[in-house]
Each structure stands twice: as C-alpha cells, then as structure tokens.
Amino acid sequence: MSDLPPIPDDDEVAEVLNAVGDGGEPTGTDARWFRTPGRRKRWPWVIMWIALLAVGVGGGFAVASVQLLGNTLEKASPDTPLVEAAVKATDPVLPDAPINILLLGSDKRAGKAGSGDPGRSDSIILIRMDNEQGFISMLSFPRDLYVNIPGHGSDKINSAFALGGPAKAIETVKALTGQPINYFVNIDFEGFVKLVDQVGGVYLDVDRKYFHKNQPGDPNPYSEIDLKTGYQRMNGKDALSYVRYRHTDSDFARIARQQAFLSELKRQTNRFGNLPEIPAYASIFADNIVTNVKSVPVLLGILQQAITTDKDRIARLSIGGAPTMRNGASIVEAPASEVSAKVDEWLHPSFTQGEGKAVVSPNDITVEVLNGNGQLSNAADAAQQLRDKGYNAETAGNADSFGRPETIVQYADGHRDAALAVAKLFGDRTAIGAIAKGEQMKDGPDLRVVVGESYKGRLVTPAKPKKQAKAAPSVEWTNSLVPLLGRVQKATGLKVMVPLRVPNGSEVKLVRSYRVNTGGQGPQALKMVFRLPSGAYWGYQILDWADPPLLEGRTGVVTKGGREYSTFYDGKNMMRLAWQKDGVTYWLANSLDYQLSADTMWAVAKSCMPLGRAKLPAGTKSNDVTIEQDAYTP
C-alpha cells in the first residue's frame, strides 16, 4: 500500500467537497471521521464456518486439537429437554448420502438454562453437503415466511423456534421442504460477535450507509446500527448489525447481505487462526453454540468438505415469496410451487446439470394426475392429453386441497428429467419438485402432476427458443463527476479514475473519503454510492491498496482495451468488476439484487479514465448527474 501521511479526521469529506457545485476550494477539517474498532457469507452459516475453521484448522489437526474438539462438542450438546427433543427430531445419516444441516441464529443459546424460553430465531438456513458430487447448497428462509408449524397451525417460520426451540424449527423445515435434517447448529448473537472478533474481523465492501438510533418512547425499537459505506474491516458487533439489518428494507435484502458476508468470510479465513488461540475459539464455540454433532470424525468430515469445496460449487438460494399483511402483521407468502422449485434447485444446482438433459421416452414413464384447481374433469383431461403424447398417465382423484394457482410436477428418484419434460407441456407457471421419500413406493408412479389453475384445459406446445438480440448497455455519458473527483485527488493524493458513463438515471447519494483501517493510518480510500431510479444502490470504490483480500475472490481475469479486469460472478450475475493501475485498486459493485447487467458494468468500467484524460468523446452530450454528499440511504 502507499505510505501516505495521516489526513484530517474527516469521514464524509464534508469540507473537502463542500463546494462541488460552485468550484470552491477545500476548507476546514471539522467533519466526522469513521474509526473502525480495534479488531473487528446467511449468518448462522457464517458463524459455524468461523468456529469450525478456527477450532479445527487453526494450527493443524494435532492430537491436542482433536482432544479439545471432543471436549468442545460435549459442552455444545448439553443434556437439556430442548436439546434432547431437537436430537430426536433429526434423521440418521444414510451411507453415502448427502448431509443436511439446519443452521439457526437466535438471540440466546437454546437449552442453556434447561427447558425454559428458547429465545427467537433470526435466521434459518438449510445446508446440503453432497460429498459425492462435490457441492454445497444453502437455502435461506425469510423469517416472516408464513408456514404450517406442526402442532400449532400457521404462523411465521421464526415462531417455530420460540414455540419449541430447535426441535420445532427442525420439524417445521422438514414439513415445508420434505427433506430430512441430519444435524442442527444453533448459534446465539453473542457467540457471533465474539468469534468474528477472535478471528480478527472481516473485510467487506458495504454497499451504503446503515444508520438507526432508537428514540425515547419508540413503540417498536429496532437494533441500533451506525455503519459507514465502503470497503472496511468489520468487528463482530458491526458484522452482526450488518447481517441482521432490515429496518427499511426486506428479508430478501438481508439474505443478500448475509450471503455477501459469508462469501468474503470464506475467502478470508485462510488468513486467520493459530494454535495458541485454539482454546479461545473452542471456549466461544462451547458457550454459544448448541449442536447434535458429537463425533469429532463427523465434524472433521464436514469441515474438510467446507474447506475444499470450490467457490464455484457452492449454491446460494433463498425462498422469495411476496410481502403482505395478515391480521395486522407483516408476513411473506410463498406458493407451494415456489418452495418446491427452490428445494429442487437446492437439490440439483445448475452446475450439476451438465450440458444437456437425458432423452426421455414417454412410454417408459408412469404418471398420476390429481385435481388441484377444483375444475370438473381437469385431471382427467390432462391425463388423456398426456396419454396422447405417449405417457402412461392415469387420474388419481383430488389433491389435498383446491385453489392451487400453479401446476406442480413431482418426481420419484431418478426421474427428474422426465419431470422437466412434462413441466414444459403445462406451460410457464409450472414447478417441479421431488416426491417425499416417505411417499415413494416400489410400484408407485414415476411422476405426480397436481393440476393447478394455470392449466386451462389443454397442454401447450413448447416454443422453440428464439435467439434474442443482445441488449445495449443502459448507460449515459456524463462529465459531472470530474470536478468532484478532481477535488478528492487534490485533497488526498489518491489517484482517481473518473467514470464518464453511468447507468441511466443514476444519482450520487454518498461520497466518503477515508482510511480503511483504524487510527487514520490505513490505505486511502474513496467510496461513491449511486442510487438507481428503482431505489437500488450500486457503488464505485477506489482503494490505494494493491492486494486487498477482496481480490482473492475473483472468478476470472479478462483483458479488454489493454486493461486487465478481475470479474466476480454469482452464478450468471456479475457482482463486481475490478482493475488496478500503479498499485491502486478500482471496482464497480452491483446492487444487492443484481439490477445492473454485465454489459452495463463493462460499459461503465471501460469509461473510467485518469483525471487528466477524463474527457467525453467529441460530439458527445453530457447528462447532468445529481450529486449529494451524505444523503439518507434507506
């Protein structure tokens, strides 16, 4: 990094940039500076990753470490009624079968005080570790998801933990997904904070400013947060605030933040951990985590797969649904078809599907068709139309209820490709999912079709996919940022590059010039937060640091126009696009929900020029960009 002298304690550059609009020079240094505390990925999985890595790998699998692991696991599985009930609710691990782990984040350690109040669960994630195919799947559930809680009726999914601890949460997720659960890990907030601090904190690119302070008399106070935007090293308290925050946005944005934190944490943990600190990690693990993993070899097997699984073989999914109100409470409703489709994707991530699908011979496939929409003879009509196409289809009466909006095609083991083929015949509003293990019989059907309201009495002929023309990037030219970044470079010495193109309708909402680490001595940095017309935020970061941990997560390297770029993808979505020059690192960060296309991000990146060359092409009209230095970013 550059050996820059300390600069004034000025977090928001309020004085350095106070004359953006009129060309004035910087004056004064009386603004606020952000100071990261000394030591600072769906957060239950995050904390489990830290704990397992630190306890099991810190200094190698020495005999002392294995003994310590055994003692730690014993303390993490106390013989209390809540824990014993949870153990009974889990399923045995079958030979050569994947392992499913339910991760629960709560405000207290379940069972710590016996059978009393188990607390409330803040996060619920179902992890699948498939060692044979070499992948890990993570499925997150919005805590307000409206589901059936066995023995209690319909309620928010996070109520299951409050009603019966980990056992009731396990039963609820099993009933919702139809999947077995072999292990559970319950983590409390205090343990999360301590473990993040113990590993030295985590570097993360925070997309915007997060702030909330409760006022006296607030009827529904939220957790307080004061977190600045930009690349920074987070301590445990800030990390917890970041992954839990949802005051002004949704569970879905919260899940995106959790996944972003997890991704960075997984990449950075190889920098942390040493043998002398192992007892401290073990103590935190034992005091703040409850699990039914009692075997050291089992733990080490889980850990081995977590460490060795390539980042491109980790699927991160979440139930979407739609926010709504019920009995005066905010909930999220997701149709059974969406849950079924997400579970199927969780079982079969796209990277396991290969280049093509198996050829399906209809006359080898048996299908039972049920009426799920209440329309007279719909199931019989659908069965006859399937027979006309060669399938061995028969009606099987009514589904357990009517009013299903989507048609669902369920499949027995080994028949997923057939389900995909049949689903195409019922149109776009059709989901697929596996028939629960307990419902599969030796002479049972290969497929089960539950006809929903989307079926209008006839099958459809799948249209041949049309080759779509490549959409032009949605960007506009502007020189509005040149004066702003020119003042930043003059005041800080940071070598800036100016974006001359930005996504259409972008507005600058935050400008933060700061030092990355504590005490004003770290790398000089600048973070600009832009808001899109939709309300989503994207960012531009400049960092006087040649090898920040973030670069370790690149998914590819591409050379364009003589510049080498590092690409960061999450599946098909570009998360980040970075490049370097003279020891300075620059990157564009997509919105949390990936609203910017890859082509748009490429267009913006290629337009970024050093200050002396930041000029629009001849004949190009500049579009004015609204610039605010410290706007509210809900």
Beta pairing partners, 232: 204
Give the SS3 label for residue 480.
Answer: coil
Q: How far apart are the C-alpha atoms of 395 and 400, rounded to whole Å?
A: 14
Element (H, E) at 195: helix 189-198
- Which helix (H) or strand (E) segment holds residue 253: the answer is helix 251-268
Band of pLDDT at residue 267, cut at 50, 70 and 90: low
Q: Quick one: how far is CA 544 from the chain centroid?
A: 28
Q: Please report the DSSP string for 286-334 in residue order.
A: HHHEEES---HHHHHHHHHHHHHS-GGGEEEEE---EEEEETTEEEEE-
CA–CA distance, 230 with 540 (Å, rounded to integer): 9
Asked if residues 80 and 111 have their Cβ atoms less than 8 Å apart, the reply is yes
Domains and CATH numbers, the chain: 1-33+467-634 (no CATH), 43-204+237-347 (3.40.630.190), 362-451 (3.30.70.2390)
Q: How remote is the C-alpha of 424 from its chain's centroid?
A: 29
The label of the residue with tokens 């699984």 reads 309
In whole numbers, what is the pLDDT of the chain averaged over residues? 81
Paired tokens of 234: 């987070």
Of 50-64, 198-212, 603-617, highest mean pLDDT: 603-617
C-beta separation of 523 from 549 below 8 A: no
> 288-346, pLDDT tens digit by residue?
788 888 887 887 778 777 767 776 788 888 888 888 899 888 899 988 878 988 999 89
Q: What is the pLDDT of residue 67?
A: 67
Where does residue 153 fall: left (phi above 0), alpha (psi -120 to 50 degrees), or beta otherwise? left
Comparing 605 with 190, the larger pLDDT belongs to 605
Position of tokens 């190009």?
A: 620
Contact yes or no for 413/440 (Cβ under 8 A) = yes
Q: Is 538 helix (H, G, I), strand (E, B) or coil?
A: strand
Whole-model pTM: value is 0.69
Would the pLDDT of 62 be above 60? no
Task: State the Cα–Cα distance between residues 78 and 64, nearest whole angstrom.
Answer: 22
pLDDT tens for each residue of 19-37: 333 333 333 333 222 222 2
- Distance, CA of 449 to CA of 451 (rounded, Å): 6
Q: What are φ and ψ of residue 312, in 5° steps? A: -80, -5
Q: Which range has the worst mean pLDDT, 37-46, 520-529, 558-567?
A: 37-46
* Cα–Cα dist 337/452, whole Å: 10
User: Taking 80 as the threshold, does the pLDDT of residue 139 lie above it?
Assistant: yes
Q: What is the mean pLDDT of residues 230-248?
A: 84
The secondary element (H helix, E strand) that includes residue 135 is strand 135-141
Q: Cα–Cα distance between 300 and 53 in angstroms, integer?
A: 10
**Confidence band (pLDDT; 50, 70, 90) for 518?**
low
Helices and strands in the chain, H and E counts: 14, 30
Cα gap 158→161, rounded to integer Å: 6
